Chains A and B, each alone.
Chain A
Amino acid sequence: MGSFIPNTKAEQEEMLKAAGFESFDELFADIPEDMRLKTPLDIPGGMSEMEAAGKMEEMAGKNKVFRTILRGAGAYDHYIPSIVKSITGKETFVTAYTPYQAEISQGILQSIFEYQTMMCELTGMDVSDASVYDGATAAAEALTMCRDRKRTVALVSATTDPKIIEVMKEYCFGSGCEIRVVPEKFGQTDKDKLREMLTDDVASFLVQQPNYYGLIEDAESLGEMVHEAKAKYIMSCNPVSLAILKTPGECGADVAVGEGQSLGMPLAYGGPYLGFMTATQKMMRQLPGRIIGETTDHDGRKAYVLTLQAREQHIRREKASSNICSNQALCAMTAAAYLSAVGADGFRKVAEQCVSKAHYLRDGLDEAGMMPTFGGEFFHEFVMTCPGGQKQVDTVLKALEEQDILGGLPLGSGRILWCATEKNTRAELDKAIGIVKEVLEGGASR
């Protein structure tokens, strides 16, 4: 059995006596006799560290790690600089608690302050919180920020990642907010439908940029329509796209949210990831979660603290802006370390390579016989339709899988959502295109 209890049995006995107890049973006298476990737990016996490590390696070995990943849909395979892992693996960062005690937490507080600054820079917004759980919960929290007593309907574009919409629905089952989905047209938000649906009970409209299909939405004019109807405008953004695209701030967003996993976090079967949230100055006090602020100590030295705590659960209880307590602090630090490592220039290069490689892949697949599903400009994801329909989708993906390539995500009706990042080399893309071509040609001749 492994144990992390330093005191030996003999020491424990001495301590019991010193504390005034005869036995361990006496310590638990308040627990009614019939509620105490009489038999050992029905779980396996304990292991040594070596055995446990071996068991975990065995489990990890049962997963397939693809050499090439051409799938995104909310989780992206980017290069993670070694320095990022070195920074976020630092033992004190890993094992510290939430920085309640500012005097011994300046390092973490400052790192989050730097993170907040970077997220404001990326999104073009005024203020940022210290993170929430992931991009989907960030979107759901944003709806809560925007609703008020009269306006209780949240609109969301059908071009949003369905997983995000599902999470929004779960949150709204709680809050009583109503979700209405604005239809899509040719893979983009249907503006006419949006205009019709912007009734005076609508609190907010959320659009994803680039959207679930990878297409770049006309975010600025959507924002204008939303504001004309006196509703709040929420943009859910892929942070890498913000190296190039017009920012939420420039598009008039009131709240900008997104999934920060692309900023230095591994795929890790879906988590831990990073939900980022930024807002206009006006919405500052509606932001959920921790916020770090700059101040001074009694000697006038610069200091960082948790601030605007009057919004939070430990002060306001049921009147708090959110219930969030633990967030994703180490993931926020990861994002800040990542953005510092790549720098302004490097970040733009990452984005440009993503875009270029995605377009190269799209052209290649087009030539191989797949059909572009939508027109319109895309960023680093795009949808294509298999000429042979849904059956062919499975054949294509299976053939890629056999060559150690994770193909795009099947969306049904013969469609596949592809993604390319800076990690994919031309050789890898050519190989994938070649395999697809072979399958499609084989399919045609059969």
Chain B
Amino acid sequence: MKLIFERGAEGRGLSLLPENDVPAYEIQSPKRAAAPRLPQVSETELSRHYTELEKQCFGVNDGFYPLGSCTMKYNPKVDEDAAALKGFTGIHPLQPEDTVQGCREVTDTLERYLCEITGMDAITLQPAAGAHGEFTGLLTIKAYHHAKNDPGRTKIIVPDSAHGTNPASAAMAGFQVVSIDSDENGCVDLDALRAAVGEDTAGLMLTNPNTVGLFDPNIAEITGIVHQAGGLCYYDGANLNAIAGVARPGDMGFDVVHLNLHKSFAAPHGGGGPGAGPVGCKEFLKEYLPKHMKAFYGNFLVAVKSLTYLLMLGREGVPEIGKNAVLNANYMKKKLSAAYDMAYDHTCMHEFVMTLSKLKKETGVSALDVAKGMIDHGIHPPTMYFPLIVDEALMIEPTETEPREVLDHACEVLLELAKKAETDPEYLHGAPHDRPIGRPDEVAAARKPVLRYSFGEK
């Protein structure tokens, strides 16, 4: 479809501002040689342009979105209404304290809820996303060791099943990353952990449930080993949805956690942000939380959305998240076991990982083919090829906000695709079939990057 630059015509535009009612001042400092080439479109064209773009997207409101590790639950509309209140949107971040008491009540209340849900003592709402939270938490750990006159603790242990952000955040915080292998159950190999810890251990980063969707039953021992060695334990809250209201990272021995408000706490993802990645810690680390991870106080309106959600759920509602997220995942896993190999045949938490390695060997149909085949049935594909320790992986996270029929339908589709792989693999290699584009050439995109419109120039 046309780019916005290819629409409209010279001289078109909207009527937005009144005439300037003060004497015009002309800047004397050096000016740009030519005006930026911005669109010249009417409101009609602009409105239709984006409506057309919207039709070529897929949101949670469009259908099932079992994107593992991303917790694509339903985003309540009342949260959006709250975040649109003029009493929040119209507040300058540097207003006098006595004029922002409502904002402070929002942040204080949310902090209290999140502390209780995670078992932590203090929370900062500054981080703008999960990875930003990881970085914040790791700087907290670094500051702690430095304050304890122990700057030789330079290593962060990360399981090989971890999200890519974990090692990347550790590197950004100036740590050396020590990757340890998982055991045959996809959990932390205790011997490998014991061998890895030492006087240079700053901490361990762990997701629990882990990225294969299992709760690591040795968690007390794991955090014990790290603490024994003088390290701290960091909880990656990407998978908190499984245990919300059922168990708390703070009770498992974790010292620092980050949460994703845009996952567990129903704030929408916005096509890739803005999210929010609050960081919580135990009392003894409170003074080491960085104070300036962002210019102001974090993605405040995202906090407003999650608080509205939590106000509604409350004490009784929060445990229902974990229970139903785990139920829905196990329900799907059971049905899909009829045709797909599970990477780990064990009760899963909020998500599970299938390995299509055998299917690929037998039919040539890959995890990618099956994922793209789902698109033809109106379902967003699961997370593909992650975690890296599982061959031909598809990671499915249904979340708690899906009705049973939706789960049933998705299972039927997947079972049908498994059959299709036997009978007509070519069809799946070509999926999806009914979209504005087929599979894009990503290699060409990276080899000769075209990253902006050229306005007809070379």
**Do the two shown chains form a genuine complex with each other?**
yes
Smallest CB separation, B263 vs chain A (Å)? 10
Encoded as 1 (CB less than 8 Å from any B CB) or 0, chain A from 122 to 152 comes to 1010011011011111000000100000000
> Are B16 and A342 closer than 8 Å at their CB atoms?
yes
Which positions 70-105 of chain A face chain B at CB distance < 8 Å?
A: 71, 73-75, 77, 79, 81, 83, 86-87, 89-99, 101-105
Given known pairs A107-B53, A137-B294, A377-B29, the reply for A24 and B323 (CB within 8 Å) is yes
Closest B residue to A95 by beta carbon equals B59
Given known pairs A19-B334, A111-B50, A323-B165, the reply for A64 and B99 (CB within 8 Å) is yes
> Are A313 and B164 closer than 8 Å at their CB atoms?
yes
Using C-beta atoms within 8 Å of the partner chain, give the interface range for chain A.
35 or more
> Are B105 and A12 closer than 8 Å at their CB atoms?
no
Q: Whole-angstrom distance between the alpha carbons of A55 and B310 in the complex?
A: 12
Given known pairs A46-B315, A56-B82, A329-B271, the reply for A272 and B299 (CB within 8 Å) is yes
> Are A133 and B132 closer than 8 Å at their CB atoms?
yes
> Are A3 and B46 closer than 8 Å at their CB atoms?
no
The answer, yes or no, to whether B91 is at the interface (CB within 8 Å) is yes
What residues of chain B lie closer than 8 Å to A318, measured between beta carbons?
A: 167-168, 170-171, 177
Smallest CB separation, A186 vs chain B (Å)? 15
What residues of chain B lie closer than 8 Å to A113, measured between beta carbons?
A: 3, 451-453
A-B contact count (CB 8 A): 670
> Which of B167, B299, B330, B437 has the most CB atoms of chain A within a 10 A radius of its CB?
B437
What residues of chain B lie closer than 8 Å to A93, measured between beta carbons?
A: 54, 57, 59, 270-271
> Are A1 and B313 closer than 8 Å at their CB atoms?
yes
A32, A52, A307, A331: the one contacting B274 at CB < 8 Å is: A331
What residues of chain A lie closer than 8 Å to B290, measured between beta carbons?
A: 170, 173
The answer, yes or no, to whether A220 is at the interface (CB within 8 Å) is yes
> Are A60 and B102 closer than 8 Å at their CB atoms?
yes
> Are B93 and A270 closer than 8 Å at their CB atoms?
yes
Of B189-197, B212-220, B224-232, B412-420, the stretch lying at the interface with chain A is B212-220
What residues of chain B lie closer than 8 Å to A391, measured between beta carbons?
A: none
The answer, yes or no, to whether B147 is at the interface (CB within 8 Å) is no
Of B37-45, B278-286, B357-365, the stretch lying at the interface with chain A is B37-45
The answer, yes or no, to whether A61 is at the interface (CB within 8 Å) is yes
Given known pairs A43-B318, A46-B313, A47-B311, the reply for A268 and B295 (CB within 8 Å) is no
Encoded as 1 (CB less than 8 Å from any B CB) or 0, chain A from 358 to 402 comes to 011000000000000000010100000000000000000100010
> Are A377 and B27 closer than 8 Å at their CB atoms?
yes
Of A190-198, A237-245, A437-445, the stretch lying at the interface with chain B is A237-245
What residues of chain A lie closer than 8 Å to B182, measured between beta carbons?
A: none
Q: Whole-angstrom distance between the alpha carbons of A103 and B376 in the complex?
A: 10
Given known pairs A96-B58, A349-B17, the reply for A121 and B36 (CB within 8 Å) is yes
> Are B304 and A352 closer than 8 Å at their CB atoms?
no
Smallest CB separation, B38 vs chain A (Å)? 4
Given known pairs A46-B313, A117-B452, A359-B25, the reply for A333 and B102 (CB within 8 Å) is no
Smallest CB separation, A260 vs chain B (Å)? 12
> Are A133 and B32 closer than 8 Å at their CB atoms?
no
The answer, yes or no, to whether A431 is at the interface (CB within 8 Å) is no
Which positions 245-266 of chain A face chain B at CB distance < 8 Å?
A: 245-247, 250, 259, 266
The answer, yes or no, to whether A355 is at the interface (CB within 8 Å) is yes
The answer, yes or no, to whether A27 is at the interface (CB within 8 Å) is yes
Q: Whole-angstrom distance between the alpha carbons of A409 and B164 in the complex?
A: 41
Q: Whole-angstrom distance between the alpha carbons of A163 and B293 in the complex?
A: 10
> Are A307 and B446 closer than 8 Å at their CB atoms?
yes
> Are A134 and B438 closer than 8 Å at their CB atoms?
no
The answer, yes or no, to whether B442 is at the interface (CB within 8 Å) is yes
> Are A174 and B50 closer than 8 Å at their CB atoms?
no
Q: Whole-angstrom distance between the alpha carbons of A41 and B317 in the complex?
A: 10
Encoded as 1 (CB less than 8 Å from any A CB) or 0, chain B from 120 to 146 comes to 000000001111101100110011000
A2, A169, A301, A339: the one contacting B437 at CB < 8 Å is: A301
> Are B404 and A15 closer than 8 Å at their CB atoms?
yes
> Which of B13, B87, B319 has the most CB atoms of chain A within a 10 A radius of its CB?
B87
Of A199-207, A224-232, A288-296, the stretch lying at the interface with chain B is A288-296
What residues of chain B lie closer than 8 Å to A19, measured between beta carbons?
A: 327, 330-331, 333-334
> Are B300 and A271 closer than 8 Å at their CB atoms?
yes
What residues of chain A lie closer than 8 Å to B100, measured between beta carbons?
A: 63-64, 269
What residues of chain B lie closer than 8 Å to A425, measured between beta carbons?
A: 21
List, sorted by A's number, 16 A–B pairs whose CB atoms are closer than 8 Å: A21-B347, A28-B246, A43-B310, A43-B314, A87-B50, A95-B269, A133-B129, A173-B290, A245-B32, A297-B438, A326-B274, A330-B270, A356-B23, A377-B27, A377-B29, A401-B96
The 9 closest A-B pairs by CB, nearest first: A270-B296, A60-B87, A46-B314, A2-B312, A330-B270, A270-B93, A62-B102, A329-B272, A107-B53
A59-B87, A98-B271, A344-B35 given. 6 additional CB < 8 A pairs?
Answer: A4-B74, A27-B326, A30-B349, A59-B105, A59-B106, A104-B432
